[in-house]
Amino acid sequence: MNADVRSIDALRDWHANLTTYGETLSEGLAGVELEIRRAFDWLSEQLGRWQRAVRECEEEVTQAKAELAARKFPGWDGRMPDTTVQEKALRTAKARLEYAEDQVLRVRGWSGRLPKMIEEVYRGAAHRLGAFLEIDLQQGLAILSRRIGALESYAGLRPDFAPAPSSSSVAATPSAPVSKTESRGEQPTPAPTNDGEAKKAPTHPEAAP
């Protein structure tokens, strides 16, 4: 099958654009992998943060219970002291503890679901794209590069591919001198014969005997 190649420069541009395309996609894949690692790191940090919060809230609950228990003994006058503030502090501490424990469960849930989601939605397509960039695209670029080299060599051997002469080279080409007679549009005088006289052709041919 013959290839109708009209511009080697267009093939060079195509090769350059394909190279840029591959580099852009490779950088994109690397960026996605970096964001995935950041997501796992963030979940790990959040898990540690909320686990510390749970321990702190447990201590607050323990302290609130102790303060409430201390207020349940009657005073010197035999009356039970008011425990409204201590009871409210205990409810607040328990609510904070419940929220922190809920956040630990949420983070652990996402830590388990995220790898499965990445495998199902992203990893397979990313692997195929990476294989295309590393193998197929590189092979295609190598073949295209060899074809461009062959066309460049072929163009150097073809005379019809040679560049047209420049205007300066055409202007520098010497031309034959033009006589004054030719410049006025007159016919030049024929050169004399050997005897120095110009022969004239008869006006009318003689009749045959």
Query: What confidence tens digit (pLDDT) does each residue in 14-38 have?
Result: 999 999 999 999 999 999 999 999 9
Angle at 45 between CA 40 and CA 49, to 5 degrees: 145
**Residue closest to 36 by CA, chosen among 126, 128, 129:** 126
The three-class DSSP label of residue 93 is helix
pLDDT of residue 135: 93
Q: Do 41 and 78 contact (CB within 8 A), yes or no? A: no
Domain map (residue ranges) of the chain: 8-157
Q: Show the tokens assigned to 164.
A: 């047209």
Q: Do 40 and 147 contact (CB within 8 A), yes or no? A: no
State the DSSP H helix or E strand holding residue 145, giving kind and residue range, or none if neither: helix 137-157
**Residue closest to 9 by CA, chosen among 185, 189, 148:** 148
d(CA 112, CA 114): 6
pLDDT of residue 199: 45
Mean of all residue pLDDT scores within the chain = 80
Q: What is the percent of the chain where pLDDT is above 90?
A: 56
d(CA 129, CA 153): 34
Angle at 174 between CA 172 and CA 178, to 5 degrees: 135
- The one-letter amino acid code at 97 reads L
pLDDT of residue 103: 96
Which one is predicted more confidently, 117 or 166?
117
CB-side exposure of 187: number of CA atoms within 13 Å? 3
Query: What confidence tens digit (pLDDT) does each residue in 117-165 have?
Result: 999 999 999 999 999 999 999 999 999 999 888 888 887 755 555 444 5
Cα–chain-centroid distance for residue 136?
17
